[in-house]
């Protein structure tokens, strides 16, 4: 028990899962991600200035976009909601800094680092493979690095962020991480891999 009480033991949702062989992409859980849910009014100059003072970057105002600055990244969630990403170790302090800077300004800062599971997917054919789980058109022109969207994935709510052309991050609620993991394995087998459009050979 002394051990339990002296170090803050930490176990993410998928700590006991490993990706099987034969997947058409790589997948791993990003356990080092700190997440802060930030609410405020983009129209409130004081709010925007105070946030920039802490984060070093303006909040993205364009729907479905993201900005990055140093080890911080901010995902647009809605006109008055953002998800601030930072190293997990920094989340508590950063949330406190934001809260302090926003004192007296209508806003809400909530550390939600444990609320979601982040799955990092890497592969050349992700847009097509993930289309087995979502009706969002991942081949659309706007789906480029920086793109953020909340969507229905398989049977649950999720958030997708295009990190690089072949690296996507899928955010799902922690309680559903196991379900999404199983779904990715079910649709992701190389044998079921599908290449959309492009040159084909007649069957």
How many residues bind to another protein according to rule CB under 8 A?
63
Determine which residue in the list 46, 114, 120, 125 makes contact with another protein, applying CB under 8 A.
Answer: 114
Length of the chain measured in residues? 203
Shortest CB 136 distance to another protein, Å: 8
Helix or strand or coil: residue 195? coil
Query: Is position 124 an interface residue for another protein (rule: CB under 8 A)?
Result: no
Binder of another protein out of 139, 142, 144, 164 (CB under 8 A) = 139
C-beta atoms surrounding 56 within 10 Å: 10
Q: How many CB atoms lie within 10 A of CB 178?
A: 15
Task: State the DSSP H helix or E strand holding residue 172, giving kind and residue range, or none if neither.
Answer: strand 167-173
Q: What strand order describes the sheet that includes 26-29?
A: 26-29, 116-122, 167-173, 156-164, 148-153
Nearer to another protein, 70 or 104 (CB): 104
Q: In 3-state terms, what secondary structure has residue 197?
A: coil
**Whose Cβ is closer to another protein: residue 39's or residue 68's?**
39
112 binds another protein (CB under 8 A): yes
CB of 18 to another protein, least distance (A): 15
Binding to another protein, residues 18-77 (CB under 8 A): 22, 37, 39-40
Pairing of strands 116-122, 26-29: antiparallel
SS (H, E, C) 113-169: CCCEEEEEEECCCHHHHHCCCCCCCCCCCCCCCCCEEEEEECCEEEEEEEEECCEEE
Q: Does 190 bind another protein (CB under 8 A)?
A: yes
Q: Which of residues 141-180 bind another protein (CB under 8 A)?
A: 154-156, 173-179
Q: Which of 1, 18, 21, 141 binds another protein (CB under 8 A)?
A: 1
**Given the rule CB under 8 A, which residues bind another protein?**
1, 4-13, 16, 22, 37, 39-40, 80, 106-108, 110-116, 128, 131-132, 134-137, 139-140, 154-156, 173-179, 182-183, 186-187, 189-192, 194, 196-203
């Amino acid at each position: 028990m002394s051990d339990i009480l002296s170090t803050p033991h930490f176990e993410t949702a998928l700590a006991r899962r490993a990706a099987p062989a034969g997947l058409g992409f790589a997948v791993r859980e990003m356990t080092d991600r700190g997440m802060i849910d930030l609410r405020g009014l983009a129209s409130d100059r004081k709010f925007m200035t105070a946030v920039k003072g802490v984060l070093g970057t303006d909040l993205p105002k364009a729907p479905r976009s993201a900005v990055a600055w140093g080890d911080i990244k901010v995902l647009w969630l809605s006109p008055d909601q953002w998800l601030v990403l930072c190293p997990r170790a920094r989340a508590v302090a950063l949330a406190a800094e934001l809260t302090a800077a926003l004192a007296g300004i209508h806003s809400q800062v909530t550390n939600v680092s444990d609320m979601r599971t982040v799955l990092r997917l890497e592969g050349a054919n992700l847009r097509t493979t993930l289309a087995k789980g979502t009706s969002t058109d991942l081949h659309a022109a706007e789906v480029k690095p920086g793109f953020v969207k909340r969507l229905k994935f398989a049977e649950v709510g999720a958030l997708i962020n295009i990190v690089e052309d072949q690296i996507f991050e899928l955010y799902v609620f922690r309680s559903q991480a196991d379900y999404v993991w199983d779904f990715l394995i079910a649709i992701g087998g190389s044998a079921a891999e599908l290449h959309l459009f492009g040159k084909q050979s007649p069957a």
